[in-house]
Amino acid sequence: MTEQTVTTELADTLAFCEQALQYQFRDRDLLLRCLTHASIARIRLDSNERLEFLGDAILGAIVCDQLFTMYPEKTEGELTRVKSVVVSRTSCAKISADLELDRCLQLGKGLADHETIPSSIMAAVFESLVAGVYLDGGFEAVSQLVRRVTVPEIERTVETSHGKNYKSLLQQLSQKSCRGMPIYVLLDEKGPDHSKCFKISVRIGDEAFAPTWGPNKKEAEQRAAENAWCQIQGQDPPNAAE
Output Rg (C-alpha) for the chain, integer angstroms.
23
Domain chopping of the chain, boundaries: 3-162, 165-232
Write out pLDDT tens, residues 103-131: 999 988 777 666 678 888 999 999 999 99
Higher-pLDDT residue of 159, 89: 89
CATH class of the domain comprising 165-232: alpha beta
Average pLDDT, stretch 218-223?
85
Our answer to whether residue 29 is catalytic in this structure is no
CATH of 3-162, one of 3.30.230.10, 1.10.1520.10, 3.10.20.600, 1.10.10.10: 1.10.1520.10
Of 148, 158, 103, 156, the closest CA to residue 125 belongs to 103
- Catalytic-role residue among 3, 100, 113, 127: 127
- Catalytic-role residue among 9, 12, 56, 100: 56
- Considering the entire predicted model, what is its pTM? 0.66
Our answer to whether residue 127 is catalytic in this structure is yes
